[in-house]
Amino acid sequence: MYALSLVGEYLKNYLKRRLTYRSDFWVEIASDLMFQGVNLFFILVVFMHTPFLGGWSQDEVVFIYGFFMVPNGIFNCLFNLWGFTERYIVKGEMDRVLTRPAHNLLQLVLENLDPASLFGSVVGIVVMAVAGGKIGLEWTWYDPFLFVLFTVGAVMIYGGVYVALTAISFFSDAPTGILPLMWNIQNYVRYPVNIYNKAIRFTLTFVLPFAFVGFYPAAYFLDREHWTAPALWTPVVGAVFFKLGVAFWNYGVRKYRGAGS
């Protein structure tokens, strides 16, 4: 309850900040959509030269990409800690956060909330609906619930790995440049994982399970016969990785000594 009231207060603050720089908000949305547009354009160009990609048709690959956009948008809204080392460790803002009663990670998430990214999720749903309509997907009554469950699981995987990587800042005082890795691995998960070799498939399933962020859950809606089992693991993998990520974060906070500034 306490956390929820905090969310409300932080959102109010966010809106006030945003309204002062209105044009920035639209610029951010526009450039975000342009980036997504390029990725979709890439898929369209690729399919001008081949009818299938690893056995998947154009509409199916677009559908997978649309699904990916949904957890991706929510993740970007929640976990916007890209400048964590500079702002919180080097400049010492972490000390301020730690003196307050709410959990430090919750505060960080709320301070850096970026609801503009949710627009990407909305577009993702539209993309899924259009592509799904073209394929003629059949939906059962429980599919919307599964969709929500998969999305939550996917965001938790994303968040868990991201939080763990960000927590490295507590141990190393120099920026490691490891976070952009996250951003680049996304390049893999937007497409059917069966086009990759065994090593990459293994990594994306078990080590950095990003295949559960896009492909596995999306494949469930396209081909239930083959992909139900992997898709249903999404929430479990999400819970495990989020738990691990937060545990590592908490361990890092205990080790944190401040930059001494």
Query: CB of residue 7 vs other proteins: minimum separation in angstroms?
Result: 28
Question: Per CB under 8 A, does 181 bind other proteins?
Answer: yes
Question: Per CB under 8 A, does 20 bind other proteins?
Answer: no
Q: Which residues of 42-71 are buried (b: 16+ CB within 10 A; e: fewer)?
A: ebeeebeeeeebeebbbbbbbbbbbbbbbb
Query: CB of residue 118 vs other proteins: minimum separation in angstroms?
Result: 18
Question: Per CB under 8 A, does 180 bind other proteins?
Answer: yes
Q: Minimal CA–CA distance to 150: which of 222, 98, 198?
A: 222
In angstroms, what CA-CA distances link 233 with 124, 179, 241? 22, 26, 12
Q: Which amino acid appears at position 135 of this protein?
A: I
- Cα separation, 191 vs 206, in Å, equals 17
Query: CB of residue 120 vs other proteins: minimum separation in angstroms?
Result: 14
Instruction: Count CB-CB contacts under 10 A for residue 257.
Output: 6
Beta bridge partner(s), residue 53: 56
Question: Per CB under 8 A, does 86 bind other proteins?
Answer: no
Question: Per CB under 8 A, does 63 bind other proteins?
Answer: no
Q: Which residue among 14, 28, 143, 240 contacts other proteins (CB under 8 A)?
A: 28
Q: Which residue among 14, 134, 175, 233 contacts other proteins (CB under 8 A)?
A: 175
Q: Where on the chain is the footprint of other proteins (CB under 8 A)?
A: 23-24, 27-28, 30-31, 34-35, 38, 41-42, 45-46, 48-50, 52-54, 174-178, 180-181, 184-185, 187-188, 191, 195-197, 200
